[in-house]
Amino acid sequence: MIPACGPYLPELLLEEGDIRTYLGTDTITGMPVLLYLSEHALPFSELSAPHLLPFLDSGTEGRDHYLTAGLPLTFRTLPKTLPRELLEDIWEAGLQMLQGLHEAGKTFGRLTAHHCLLNGKDVLFVGAGLTPGSEKTDIRNLAKLVMHLMGGQSSSELNTVMRNQLERLMQNHFISAAHLLRDLQNRPKTPTQSVLQTVKTTPAEPEPEEVEFEETEIKLDDAPQEPQAPPVVVRIGWDDDESWRQVQSPATAHPAQNQNTSGIMRYLATIGIAVLLLAGAGLGWWYAARQQQAIPEANSPTTCCVVDFSLTRKSQPYNAQAKLIAVKVPEGSSYKAGDTLGLVPGPVRFPSVKGEYVLKVEVPGLRTAPFQLDMPTSGPMTIDLQ
């Protein structure tokens, strides 16, 4: 086992060379760290730039000098296969980081895939200033890293601006990070935006002028009124005395009775509408309750599963951390075969996808067999290393 460097325990070798890179743990806080060890003194620079993790501590242990950089608790290394969107995010985040360094008169130096990490949707870089460099080599190293992540060839799925930038840089053309970033951010991100920008540049046709007309206010007193018809007279005659009697027409005979009848009808209509509204509301509530009972929690999101892993070997706890690698993942998972899910022992968060995972533990110097894990699951899990 590698001896501790101060309070930092190196656990997993990521990169060899004059500067050895280890993934380790701060034994005081329990947080993950990156350790850089070298027989030569390492420069401790307080660098500040977007997407750049700073160094936290430095010191010596025996003949080795070390530097440490703190990592987020939920960090993860780059997967073997990267989608187009992630490649574009790495390129843009790298340009923003280099622009910040170059404007401060600093450079990054050697840049490989081990200097790039993910934390959720954020792209992070670490290890700046450990080796000498220049603005030209920094830009070219970032382009080489993106080309390496694409398998060595520029993908036709990339946006046209980024693809042209990579091709020019690989032909030894020097373009500053600020210039590359400005061209990249000014590009239309979608065809819809291109159409919108074209529409904005086209002069709009003048709108027709509205013609206002003065409205003449008509008073009720001035409005012409139709002449009212004279009341209808009904003559009734009796044969007994040959006399006649005049009475009012049936339309005006009982005005009070007609007003009472219309008021009752309006009251009944109001009551009927209220009853219909209440019945409709009750029916809607009953239907919603039946639907809720028919599909209990079908649309409720499933929370992510956190499994606490522990390692044992020969019935003894094994405290050195190792990588937890995915061999097979269920359909719909955000991970792919070969991805690193996290470090064990410790908690590992799985995506909210049900199914069978086939996992293995990668321990330097040991050969481990894959094992099966069905998700979701609860409770800790112990992995016995043979």
Q: What pLDDT is attached to residue 154?
A: 67
Q: What pLDDT is attached to residue 262?
A: 65
Q: What pLDDT is attached to residue 18?
A: 93
Q: State pTM to two decimals.
A: 0.51
For tokens 């490649």, name the residue: 87
Q: Backbone phi, then psi, for 61, in 5-degree steps?
A: -140, 105
Q: What pLDDT is attached to residue 54?
A: 93
Write the DSSP symbol of residue 221. T
Fold of 76-188: Transferase(Phosphotransferase); domain 1 (1.10.510)
Q: Is 342 left (phi over 0), alpha (psi -120 to 50) or beta?
A: left
Q: Backbone phi, then psi, for 17, in 5-degree steps?
A: 135, -165
Q: What pLDDT is attached to residue 288?
A: 61
Spatial contact of 311 and 322, defined as CB atoms under 8 Å apart = yes
Q: What pLDDT is attached to residue 342?
A: 81
Cis bond before residue 72 (omega within 30° of 0): no
Cα 186 from Cα 39, distance rounded (Å): 46
Cα 113 from Cα 117, distance rounded (Å): 8
Contacts of 35 (CB under 8 A, 6+ apart): 5, 8, 10, 21, 22, 23, 24, 66, 67, 68
Domain 8-70 class, CATH top level = alpha beta
Tell me the β-bridge partners of 325.
340, 360
Q: Of 367, 378, 357, 358, which is closest to residue 313 (Cα–Cα)? A: 367
Q: What pLDDT is attached to residue 231?
A: 54
Q: The domain 305-385: what is its CATH number?
A: 2.60.40.1120
Contacts of 91 (CB under 8 A, 6+ apart): 142, 146, 162, 166, 184
Domains 8-70 and 76-188 share a fold: no
Q: What pLDDT is attached to residue 242?
A: 52
Specify burial of residue 84 (Cβ count, 10 A radius: 0-12, 13-18, 19+). middle
The residues spanned by each domain of the chain are 8-70, 76-188, 305-385
Query: CA angle, 349 as apex, 326 and 23 as ends, to 5°?
Result: 70
Q: Of 95, 206, 111, 199, which is closest to residue 149 (Cα–Cα)? A: 111
The token pair that represents 177 in the structure block: 């990070």
Q: What is the mean pLDDT of each run of 10 residues along the chain (386 residues)?
A: 86 92 91 94 90 94 93 90 91 96 95 93 94 94 92 76 89 89 76 45 51 49 54 50 51 51 74 80 67 44 70 79 87 85 83 86 80 83 82
Cα 116 from Cα 243, distance rounded (Å): 119
Q: What pLDDT is attached to residue 222?
A: 52
